[in-house]
Amino acid sequence: MLEFYVASVLSSEKNNYSTVQSAINAVPADNSEPVLIHIAKGEYKEQLVIQKPFITLEGESETETILTYDLGAYEILEDGIKRGTFRTASVFIDTHDFTARNLTFANTAGLGKLVGQALALYVEGDRITFDHCQMLGSQDTLFTGPLPLTAYEPGGFRGPKEFAPRINGRQYYKNCFIRGDVDFIFGSATAYFEQCEIFCQKTDDEPAAFTIEYQKTYSYITAASTAEGQEYGYVFDHCHLTGNCPKASCYLGRPWRNFAKVVYLHCEMEEHIHPAGWHDWGKKAAHDTIFFAEYQSTGAGGDSKKRASFSKQLSEKEAHSFTKEKVLGNDF
């Protein structure tokens, strides 16, 4: 195994680098063996690009080893065109067999309503694992590629994978903390989230005293764009849905595309989750094609009595179809 070390202050360690990108660049272009990059505590402000396989990034501390950048979609570039969503990623991962442990990934551009979409992570590829990591952002914190086949507007997918083939990959998130507000987990990948905390953040200082009937919406956790015919989309297993938003102001998800698939299993949901649970984004035609489902949700926000009519409560037998082994496969 190749090993590299990253620290803000260089030491006498072999293969020692002061930036994360320089350590990644040192991995051979034709690499075919495991590579472990140790990253010391500290904040590394770099826009990272990772396109080599079999790399593991391992931080010294989940909360104190921070990979961060600060680009937002509304920024106007020199050519007069907005940066757009998919050129904002603090960390761009486009490979297979990649692992991250004990790291924070952040986009500090600001609130989405001010700076637009701002990705902490753009993740595309197969057999991708995040273990004990934090993903921090506002709108569009975590993108799980690939992109849908077509954009709603010309240039909407402007960025590194706009013209690439759309190939579904499998991603696994374990014991992670993911924070955002609007559509902050989105995309087309098959992704399994196990024992993660999903935090809906409040975006202003308005008082929390709303009635359910006139509730302001602060958050949509997911915006899945699962491809037609794809067996699995997002599965959340034994996750805890937390937040600082008012009661009943957050939705479990809405469909970015009409075949979106999202399932919550044994998840604890606090009172910020809206009783309807799910939003259709005004896409009535999608009611017959989306798959939004839950099994044994608990907590103040987990009551199924008033859930949206186009969502589903799974039976025990149906829930068994969404185990990690069945969703990700035995070769993960």
- In this predicted model, what pLDDT tens digit does every residue of 109-126 receive, in sequence order? 999 989 999 999 999 999
The low-confidence residues of the chain, meaning pLDDT below 50, are: 207-214
Residue 275, pLDDT score: 96
**Could you tell me which CATH number the domain at 25-328 has?**
2.160.20.10
**CB neighbour list of residue 330: distance below 8 Å, 6 or more residues apart:** none
Please state, as a whole number, how many other Cβ atoms lie within 10 Å of the Cβ of residue 331.
7
- pTM (predicted TM-score): 0.96
- Buried b / exposed e over 54-76, threshold 16 CB at 10 Å, is bbbbbbeebeebbbbbebbbbbe
**CB neighbour list of residue 47: distance below 8 Å, 6 or more residues apart:** 69, 71, 89, 90, 91, 92
Residue 285, pLDDT score: 96
Q: Indicate the Cα dihedral angle 283, 256, 273, 180, nearest 10°.
A: -150
Could you give the residue numbers annotated as active site? 140, 183
Q: What does the alpha-carbon distance between residue 36 and residue 259 come to, in Å, rounded to a whole number? A: 37
- In this predicted model, what pLDDT tens digit does every residue of 120-153 receive, in sequence order? 999 999 999 999 999 999 999 999 999 999 999 9
Residue 206, pLDDT score: 54
**CB neighbour list of residue 80: distance below 8 Å, 6 or more residues apart:** none
Q: Quick one: residue 273, left, alpha or beta (phi over 0 = left, psi -120 to 50 = alpha)? A: beta
Q: What does the alpha-carbon distance between residue 75 and residue 164 come to, in Å, rounded to a whole number? A: 24
Q: What does the alpha-carbon distance between residue 314 and residue 91 come to, in Å, rounded to a whole number? A: 36
CA angle 224, 328, 242 (to 5 degrees): 50
Residue 216, pLDDT score: 79
Residue 209, pLDDT score: 46
Residue 244 CA from chain centroid, whole number:
19
> Do the Cβ atoms of 255 and 288 come closer than 8 Å?
no
Q: Look up residue 125 and give its two tokens.
A: 């590829």
| List of E strands, 10-126 | 16-17, 35-39, 42-45, 48-50, 55-59, 65-69, 91-94, 98-107, 121-124
Domain-by-domain residue ranges, the chain? 25-328
The candidate with the shortest Cα–Cα distance to 234, out of 190, 184, 197, is 190
